[in-house]
Structure 1
Amino acid sequence: MARRRVGYHTEVDESVQTPVAPAADPAPRSGIGAVFARYRRAWLIAAGALVFVLLGSGAVFAGTQTGAAEPAAASVVASPAAAPSPTPTIDPARPVPAEGTTASRLRTCSVAGLAADTRLADFQAHVVNASTGEVLFDRGGSTASRTASVMKVLTSAAALNVLGSDYRATTRVVKGAEPGQVVLVGGGDLTLSRLPTGQEPFYTGAAHLDDLATQTMVAWAADPSNPPITSLVLDASYFSGPDWDEGWARTELGLGSMPEITALMVDGDRNDPTRSTSARSEDPIARAGQAFADALGGGLSISSATAPAGTAQLGAVQSAPVSTLIQQSLIVSDNTIAEMLARLVAIEHGAGNSFSALQQGIVGGLAAYGIDTTGMIIKDGSGLSPHNAVSPAYLTALFIKVNAREGNLGVLFDGLPIAGGPGGSLSYNDRFAGANAAADGAVFAKTGWIDTGYTLAGVIRAADGTPLTFAIYAISNVAIGNVSSSAKIAIDTLATGFFHCGDNLSNN
């Protein structure tokens, strides 16, 4: 393969296959002519370059003469006009994110082993960093399921929004339609006590029936034209029936966990007004009526009817404010107050005054918090019904607001039981015991229990300082049946795992 010189570069001539000897020069030359003849090609190239330089210089010189009045150019060589940039074409089949996504940090603290505990039955859980809103752990978090007594959190939140923290339920006495007749009008205060004033019932700060009786007799005696009081009418029409939800086991009445829900009753209809758990009667209205008749001196005929419109009021007493009622309901999981609040919320919201109004009333009452309630089912205010359905993710979102004490929600936070606390449903000796005591004082949560499930939801102040909101459901399906009480231990152990992991909690 031959090589030849072209200008200043060596070029390979691919067309030359066989070297050929050059023809002999017939006569040698001398002088410049000889040099030119010998290097003829190089001279021609050099001459061409010289002509180009001279022509270029002339062009620049001419420019300086004809363009003297113009601004000096920024560059000797003019830049060509920029062509417009083509508009990018976006494939409609390929969505373009509005902004770049940020990768989540790699978290390494796993609770997978704890979550696999079979005592958790059909397990669901959701955990969120309350400061950032990032979901750290999710097992069926978006599926609405039975809540047990965690439902009281929703009832309380709705009450704080619809009723306000200062709302009080009022029980009144008015004149009846007949001479010598008074009407006791229930206003939905299920905490009203038949114990004498000065003797504290289970519901601390409750109104007393004897106070109402005293007001009634003083007002009655102030009108000399009034005959003696001879009859008492009981008006419980503020709530409508049925008085017992179809999903509740009737045994709860005798066990002392739930009364019939009526607008007129005393001491949550307990046999013993001083105890949290005490058997309830079959007729709470009659019990309240008899107690009031006795406080008026006894010997009265008692009947039930609606109070006549526009008659004079003889007396009134009020319950403790909603802020107090919520804390009393949450700390020991009192069903009676929860049902009282739920019904008052439905009435104030304009949904109605029966169990069937609770869906619209409570869900409507929660709307102000701006959290999606799709799929939520509300059958009662206490959570005793197995037909309630709320997702764990809804609870973690609500607890972010509770933890931040938005609006009146600080009242709700202050009523939550505390692991290892001085009282409440997380202070019992079967909760956060043994190694789980590491989370004592750091778990603020509402407990829940029905035959078919155990639940726990609230706020954890994690060991690394991260505030976590969480919800854990250990519920049964048809095949499993009732859930063992040992589920509480498994739930506490998992919550303690969340406490130890904090923001390093892994979803794997």
Structure 2
Amino acid sequence: MGAPPPAAPPEPGPRRRRVLPIALAAALVLVLALVGVAVVRPGPVADWLGDEPADRKTAQAAEPAPVAVLAGADPNAPRPTPEGVRAALEPLLGQEILGSRVNISVVDVDTGDPLYTRGGDDPTVPASVTKLVTAVTVLAARGPTYRIPTRAVAGASPGEVVIVGGGDPTLAVDKQGFYPGAARLDDLAAQVRKALGGTKPTKVTVDGSLYSGPVHEPGWDPDIPTGGYGSAITALMTDAARTDVPRAKRDDANGNHAAQRAREPDLAAGRSFARLLGVPTDAVKRGKAPAAADATGGAPGPGAELGKVESLPLNRMVDVMISDSDNIVAEALARQVALARNQPASFEGGAAAMDAVVAELGLPADEIDLADASGLSRDNRISPSLLTDLIVLAGNGSRPELAVMFGGLPVAGWSGTLADRYDTAAKAGAGVVRAKTGTLTGVHALAGVVTTADGRLLSFAVLTDRVPPVDSDLPRRALDRVVAALAACGCR
């Protein structure tokens, strides 16, 4: 995806690594099992996302019993040695297809001990692996049960309804929305009609003022805003700005996550809301909600709340973001981090807030520099060792809310963005690797957990950002072979 990459970024200078002060125990394995590392076969995506309409539950009841995919790690398994890991990996790191810079970190999850590093502390272009940082920071800042509100209030003039975007990218128009279980505009419209009583809506104003700054990150490749993997980021949108939800659902089922996106998602959502209220779409304009006035009886006064719907809880949105590498959801979650840390809800504010939360968590904040939360920006830099430390922190039980991020990690050869990978030469990794992928033109990355042949759980991150211009499937398969080598060995 994207235009040919610019000249390779300059080699970063040496950085002194801050060791994460964590003593891990067997409890980690229990945490990972609870959130899906020792898991059963993932069911339909709808099941992962929450409650389904009643008419679908009968069909789902016919699903066969789940079967095991990832075996639970054994905390008593023999420990790999640095020498053994080096012997397994180094013959594969020189693959020409991976380019001139392959930075990697491997850590024993149970002990927290580093097993192998090569450029491990060097900030590297991470692509969509950035979403692991987005997941951890939003879970730390907001908590897994937080829901994003979308509100409707009375406008300044009679019959005016103001819809106030709260930053929910999964908001649907009706029950046919892209994200099962999402909040819906038809529910909000029903609340508005009830609150207005006999007053007929005549105008819809869209208030997206919660967000500020540019709607596209300046570091994005030129084709990203129009190529279907990105969109304008606005505080009000439906179905992550998709304009053809039935088609998007069909394409998504076949592993194609690009979609047609609205050029102005906020106004598109406002027009959908207007149609539900019986308001002409040419009566939809941008504006701001008036401050709430004291109630005086009769019709709701300016600023009075007419209705509210709430998003899926953040734990489910994190699952969606990671399993399908959903860029628009990622950017929305970063703005929730910004709001929780009193920063502007913008690309810049989200990045600053995420950096701050990384430092609060005791991670090496000098090894991360973000421009966006999705990983679409080539200006992002994250070190492999920060990623492995982050994965260990999320699983060691000290911050149980962070363990939610494991639930959405794709399973090699089975689900998400790893569903069609780890065959042929990388087959040893199928079912024992769970990881986040990252791809831009010239950039490929993989970070997650892998269980060795002896049953030892390892955290890994492999980032390469100087890949030659070739079919992107080739460097992905080369990365898979690197991680599969960890799965195939005891590394002792």
TM-score, normalised to structure 1, is: 0.74
Higher mean alpha-carbon deviation, 128-137 vs 301-310, is at 128-137
| Alignment match, 1:282 | 263
SS in 2 for 1:469: strand
8 Å Cα contact 1:147/1:390 also seen in 2: yes
Cα-to-partner distance string for 1:34-61 (whole Å, 9 max, x where unaligned): xxxxxxxxxxxxxxxxxxxxxxxxxxxx
Structure 2 residue corresponding to 1:212, chosen from 181, 185, 188: 188
Tell me whether 1:151 sits opposite 2:127 in the alignment: no
State how 1:426-441 maps to structure 2 within 5 Å: 426-428=418-420, 431-441=421-431
Runs of 4+ with deviation above 6 angstroms: none
- Measure the CA separation in 2 of the matches of 1:316 and 1:354: 23
Question: Aligned partners of 1:318 and 1:413: how far apart in 2?
Answer: 24
SS of corresponding position for 1:252: coil
- Matched AA of 2:89: V
Give the alignment partner of residue 411 of structure 1, picking from 393, 404, 407. 404
Partners of 1:359 and 1:189 lie apart in 2 by: 18
- 2:53 corresponds in structure 1 to none
1:366 Cα deviation after fit: 2.2
User: How far apart are the structure 1 equivalents of 2:439 and 2:136?
Assistant: 20
Per mean C-alpha deviation after superposition, the further-off stretch among 367-376 and 140-149 is 367-376
Contact 2:82 2:115 in 1 (8 A): no
Q: Which amino acid aligns with 1:304?
A: R
CA distance in structure 2 between the partners assigned to 1:383 and 1:106 by the alignment: 31
Counterpart CA distance in 2 for 1:375 and 1:355 is: 19
Specify whether residues 160 and 502 from structure 1 end up closer, same or farther in structure 2 by C-alpha distance, changes over 3 A only.
farther
Cα shift at 1:119: 1.1
**Mapping of residues 243-258 of structure 1, within 5 Å:** 243-258=215-230
Q: Tell whether 2:94 aligns with 1:116.
A: yes
Deviation at 1:105, TM superposition (A): 5.9
Structure 1 stretch 483-492 or stretch 171-180: which is displaced more?
483-492
179-188 vs 368-377, which moves further: 368-377
Contact 1:256–1:278 (8 Å) recurs in 2: yes
Distance 1:466 1:218, change over 3 A: same
Q: Give yes or no for contact 1:331–1:416 (8 Å, CA) kept in 2.
A: yes
- Name stretches of at least 5 consecutive residues in structure 1 with no aligned partner: 1-103
Percent identity, aligned pairs only, is 36
Question: SS of the counterpart of 2:317?
Answer: helix
Distance 2:490 2:433 in 1: 12
Structure 2 partner of 1:177: 156
Deviations 1:56-104 (A, max 9, x none): xxxxxxxxxxxxxxxxxxxxxxxxxxxxxxxxxxxxxxxxxxxxxxxx9
Shift of 1:503: 4.4
Secondary structure at the counterpart of residue 226 of structure 2:
helix
Q: Is the 8 A contact 2:134 2:354 kept in 1?
A: yes
Equivalent residue of 1:215, what SS? helix
Query: What pairs up with 1:377-388 in 2 under 5 angstroms?
Result: 377-388=369-380
- Partner in structure 2 of residue 491 of structure 1: 479
Q: Hey, what does 2:172 align to over in structure 1? A: 193
Query: CA separation of 1:181/1:424 partners in 2, compared to 1, >3 Å: closer, same or farther?
Result: same
Unaligned runs of 5+ in 2: 1-79, 249-256, 293-302
Matches within 5 A, 1:384-399: 384-399=376-391
**Which is greater in Rg?**
1
User: Is the contact made by 1:253 and 1:281 (CA closer than 8 Å) also made in structure 2?
Assistant: no
Matched, 1:308 2:290: yes
SS of alignment partner, residue 459 of structure 2: strand
1:339 aligns with 2:331: yes
Cα distance in 2, alignment partners of residues 409 and 456 from structure 1? 19
Contact 1:453–1:483 under 8 Å retained in 2 = no
Paired letter, 2:187: D
CA distance in 1, matches of 2:97, 2:443: 11
Pairwise mapping of residues 14-413 of structure 1 onto structure 2 (< 5 A)?
107-108=83-84, 109-121=87-99, 122-194=101-173, 196-197=174-175, 199=176, 201-221=177-197, 227-274=199-246, 275=248, 276-299=257-280, 301-310=283-292, 311-405=303-397, 406-413=399-406
Aligned equivalents of 2:382 and 2:431: distance in 1?
27
Q: RMSD between aligned alpha carbons?
A: 1.8
CA distance in 1, matches of 2:145, 2:245: 25
Provide the residue aligned with 1:450 in structure 2: 440
Cα displacement (A) at 1:136: 1.5
Distance 2:122 2:109 in 1: 20
> Which residue type is aligned with residue 216 of structure 1?
V
- The separation in 2 between residues aligned to 1:105 and 1:338, in whole angstroms, is 36
1:501 maps to amino acid: C
Task: Output one character per residue of 1:439-495: Cα deviation in whole Å (capped at 9) or x when no partner.
Answer: 211101000011120100011111111111000112117xx5678431101100000
Amino acid at match of 1:295: L
Deviation at residue 272 of structure 1 after TM alignment: 1.8
CA contact (8 A) 2:88 2:486 kept: no
